[in-house]
Chain A
Amino acid sequence: MIRSLEIGKRALLASQRGLDVTSNNIANVNTPGYARQAISLRPGESIPVGGTMLGMGVLVTNIRQFRDQLIERDVRTYTATQSYYQQSQTIFQRIEAALGEPGDQTIQTALQQFFDAASELASNPSRMANRQLFVARAADLASQFNRVSSAIADLRSSTADRTSQDIERVNQLLAKLAGINQQINATLDSSGQPAPSLVDQQHQALEELSAYLDISVTRTATGTVNVSSGGMMLVSLDSSLKLRVEKNLDSSSGATTLRITAQKQDGTSVGTLSPGSGELAALIEHYNVTLNPAAPSSQFSVARELDRLASAFADRVNTIAAGGYGLSDSGPTPPGRPIFTAAGGGPLSAGTIQLNPALASDPGLVPTASAPGEPGNNAVMSAIAALASDSSFLDTLTPEGYYGSITAQLADRGAGASDRLSAAKATLNQINQERQSLSGVNLDEEATNLITYQRAFEAAARVVTVTSDMLSTIVNLGR
């Protein structure tokens, strides 16, 4: 009889544990990173009774989590890819906004208005209103270049700030993972398994970390993880590296680039980290290349291309203007007055180009004539106006054509980032569905489990009651 009571007790305990796990699953139905759990049951050891082997009820061996490490690895890989393209797309969209494309307030519009004014002035170079319009349009064009250049510089600066913020969060996550490793080792259960809640936290931290950089995870038998990126071990057991963003100044070009360096907690430098993918990779790539005015010519840099366009344009216009005379100029040698100058006296670029201040105060000085004392002579201004259709201006393109090639490359890269982002999102969504299919909590399933364990509990309780009644009958036999 006592054996029956023991079997009943074991069944009651198993059902209770089952109900506990089911309740926990239901409670965590919306918890991010949670993987459903289930109890593992096994029959109790059989014992010999009267020449036969009798089973001793049920035992709970452990609580297992439904998690597939292969799927988790894919989730991390595609999270990094998605973050990389998401950030790239955002940066390209912000560059488009800086250029004002597609819209009416763009460098192309300013170029067209400049050439319109030059053409108008060539038609009647002595008319002061035409000179004032030309001066205003030249100033507008310079200010458009300045505005776009400044917006791109601001974007570059905010990219650096964002990188620093991301690095701060990455350091927190690395420290958190090292801490979880420590906790896991300290709280292993009797079967040497880590606490499921710690594993959930670990996976959540790894997934968040993978949004910043491409990581590789190695799992030990006890459930702790070693995390590396770009061949550098970032987390090993309970120790983690500390990352830093450093700005390098190129003395020849004067431009800065970003790099991530790693150091141990004691401050010893470990080296430079290449994030491979993720948000940090995108931020650094765009800071160092797309937005860098001193980026190598083999890579597309919108900042460098705009500088090239602005300086080439100013140089060509100034070269033509150098041979020209204004209304009041005299003498056999032209005054060599430029239309555009560089603010601060530095090299001409999109950021420094400005209208020659002398022309702003006296439009009569605008060089239009090829000979002095000829207000109707439009040879110089006609040559400036003809630049609009000069297909040898830069790389066998007209000024507007060259600007078009910049926007086309930008559009191509933006669309590429957008397409790859969509693809990464779709893949990640599919992998997440697979993960949900395995690890997610299904309420109908849990409700069924609830009934199952409830009925099992009721039945086990009935076994105990019946056994108790039988014991009572036996105890009362002698009365």
Chain B
Amino acid sequence: MRVTLQSLSSTIQSQLSELTARQAQQQTRIATGQRLLQLSDAPTDIADIVSYRSMIARMQRYSSTLDQALAEQNTAEGALESISSTLSAIQTLGVDALQIANQDKWRTLAVQLRSNIEAIIEAANATHGDIYVFAGTKNTASVLVPSPPETTQRPFELVTTTPTASNPSGLEVRFKGNIEPRTVQTGDASAEQVSTTADKIFGAGGTALFDTLIALYNTLAYNSDGTPRADGQIPSPDQLENVSSLVKQIADASATVNATTAELGIRTNRMTSLQSQLQEDITRQREFLSRLTDTDVAQATMQLQRDQIAYEYSLKVGARLLNLSLFDFLQ
């Protein structure tokens, strides 16, 4: 085969150009850490890469949702513990009221009980950020509009209404929220309830427990005819029986609160465990993605080195081949 100057030079040029392009490519891969510089570098991997990225983004989203849900549940858990502890104190107060030695102190005990009821209401109005955790989906001040005698934009409020025979103090706890649960997505096909509804804690309508507590208060603070109890006045047998019955109801309510707290704890554990699982999955998926998208620096460096050597020798050989012709030897 005849070899001409032009074929020689075009071959050398295309080889040098190819080697330069390859070096530039390896250099970019090392500098950016990215194996794929364009989609067509690995067409078979693109669908997998998009899929891994999508999966990682979704898992991070669920993890972030769980973070927020756990923070809210921690607040709810704290409030429930406070409610439970106050209910225990009320139970003790009720039992104390039944003791003969304390039967002349019901008026004082009633004052303590009211203070405890207010403490429970305070705990029931616990907030996480700007939301009330036990108010269902009507959980911000903007929609908790008070109607007289209510005065606050909080979900639970102790108000005083017109006294009646059955409620001589006129005390009443109003609940302005609702008992709709709030759920969030924690997986492609799974959701978790993040809110604890008021009926699960305080019974029917979110106020049943308060009705019991106010009934106890009325029994301790008022006589059967609705007149305020005088200091040192001894209660009637009916009233003692009533207190006994109410203390039992409070004990049952306290058990319900404890069960709800336990349920919340179980849910929190489940979420914590799910989050750990998600973190592990994210790490694993990132590793798979990295294998597809990231540069193997050692391999790229070796390839760059090989290309540099080839380039250097191509230049040397090309220069020699193109340097001499028969004309150099003609006299």
Q: Which residues of A contact B (CB under 8 A)?
A: 29-30, 89, 92-93, 96, 101-102, 108, 112, 115-116, 119-120, 122-124, 126-127, 327, 369, 371, 373-378, 382, 385-386, 388-389, 398, 400-401, 403-405, 407-408, 410-412, 414-418, 429, 432-433, 436-438, 440-445, 447-448, 450-451
User: Residue A404 contacts which of B47, B130, B182 (CB distance < 8 angstroms)?
Assistant: B47
- B11: CB under 8 A from chain A? yes
Query: Do B137 and A371 touch across chains, with their CB atoms under 8 A apart?
Result: yes
Q: Which of B1-9, B164-172, B244-252, B266-274 contacts A (4 or more CB under 8 A)?
A: B1-9
- Asked if residues B68 and A123 are in contact (CB atoms below 8 Å), the reply is yes
A29-B5, A369-B137 given. 7 additional CB < 8 A pairs?
A: A123-B194, A376-B138, A389-B189, A404-B46, A411-B46, A433-B7, A443-B4
Distance from A444 Cβ to chain B, minimum over Cβ atoms (Å): 4
Minimum CB–CB distance from A368 to chain B (whole Å) comes to: 10
Give CA–CA (A102, B39) in the complex, Å.
Answer: 6
Decide if A444 touches B326 in the complex (CB within 8 Å).
yes
Chain B minimum-CB-distance residue to A388:
B58
Residues of B within 8 A of A436 (CB): 2-4, 6-7, 10
Check A124 against B326 for contact (C-beta < 8 Å): no
Task: Flag if A116 contacts B61 (CB, 8 Å).
Answer: yes
Given contacts A126-B140, A408-B50, contact A376 B57 (CB under 8 A): no
Contact yes or no, B7 A437, CB < 8 A: yes
The CA-CA distance from A374 to B51 in the complex, in Å, is 36
Q: Which single residue of chain B is at the shortest CB-CB distance from A112?
A: B57
Given contacts A408-B50, A437-B2, A441-B4, contact A375 B143 (CB under 8 A): yes
| B162 touches A (CB below 8 Å) | no
Chain A residue with Cβ nearest B34: A102
Q: Which residues of A contact B237 (CB under 8 A)?
A: none
Q: What is the CA–CA distance of A126 and B130 in the complex, to the nearest angstrom?
A: 8
Q: Specify which of B37, B47, B137 is in contact with A376 (CB 8 Å cutoff).
A: B137
The 8 closest A-B pairs by CB, nearest first: A404-B50, A440-B4, A414-B40, A436-B7, A411-B39, A447-B326, A376-B139, A411-B43
Q: How far is the CA of A171 from the CA of B65 in the complex (A)?
A: 65
Set of chain B residues within 8 Å of A400, measured between Cβ atoms: 50, 53-54, 57
B235 located at the interface, meaning its Cβ lies under 8 Å from any Cβ of chain A in the complex: no
Question: Does A401 lie within 8 Å of B5, measured CB to CB?
Answer: no
- The answer to whether B65 touches A119, judged by C-beta atoms less than 8 angstroms apart, is yes
Q: Using A378-B182, A408-B47 as known contacts, say yes or no to A445 and B2 having CB atoms under 8 A apart.
A: yes
Tell me whether B136 and A375 are in contact (CB under 8 A). no
B183: interface (CB < 8 Å): yes
Assuming the contacts A102-B293, A376-B135, A388-B58, asked whether A418 and B6 have C-beta atoms less than 8 A apart, the reply is no
- Expressed in whole angstroms, the Cα–Cα distance for A316 and B249 within the complex equals 51
Q: Judge whether A389 and B188 touch: CB under 8 Å.
A: yes
In the bound complex, how far is the Cα of B4 from the Cα of A436, in angstroms?
7
* Known contacts A108-B54, A388-B58; A116 and B64 CB within 8 A of each other: yes
- Are B325's CB and A408's CB within 8 A? no
Residue of A whose beta carbon sits closest to that of B9: A30
Residues in B whose Cβ lies below 8 Å from that of A388? 54, 57-58, 61
A96 touches B38 (CB 8 A): yes
Contact across chains for A443 and B65 when beta carbons are under 8 A apart: no
- In the complex the two chains form, what is the Cα distance from A385 to B2 in whole Å? 70
- A79 to nearest B CB, angstroms? 15
Q: Do B50 and A108 have beta carbons less than 8 Å apart? A: yes
B143 contact set on A, CB distance < 8 A? 373-375
Flag if A407 contacts B142 (CB, 8 Å).
no
Which residues on A sit within 8 Å (CB–CB) of B68? 120, 123-124
Interface residue B185 (Cβ < 8 Å from any Cβ of A): yes
CB-defined A-B contacts under 8 Å, sample of 12: A116-B57, A119-B184, A120-B64, A375-B137, A376-B138, A376-B180, A382-B183, A388-B61, A389-B188, A404-B51, A412-B43, A415-B43
Check: B14 CB closer than 8 A to any chain A CB: yes
Using CB atoms, name the residue of chain B closest to A328: B142
Q: Is B256 an interface residue (CB 8 A)?
A: no
Question: CB-CB < 8 A to B142: which residues of A?
Answer: 126, 327, 375
Q: What is the distance, in angstroms, from B43's C-beta to the closest C-beta of chain A?
A: 4
Residues in chain A near residue B47, CB distance under 8 A: 404-405, 408
Q: A126-B130, A405-B47 are in contact. Are A440 and B40 (CB under 8 A)?
A: no
Give the contacts of B246-282 with A (CB-CB under 8 A). none
CB distance from B67 to the nearest CB of A (A): 9
| C-alpha gap A122/B186 in the complex (Å) | 12
CB–CB A373/B46 < 8 A? no
CB atoms of B137 and A377 under 8 A apart: yes
Q: Which one of B6, B43, B189, B325 lies within 8 Å of A444 (CB-CB)? A: B325
Contact of A375 among B37, B138, B325 (CB under 8 A): B138
C-alpha spacing A417/B43, complex, angstroms = 12
CB pair B139 A375 closer than 8 Å: yes
Partner of B7, one of A101, A385, A440: A440
**Which of B38, B178, B185 interacts with A122 by CB under 8 Å?**
B185
Interface string of B78-92 (1 = CB under 8 A from A): 000000000000000
Q: A96 and B40 in contact (CB under 8 A), knowing A374-B138, A441-B5, A442-B5?
A: yes
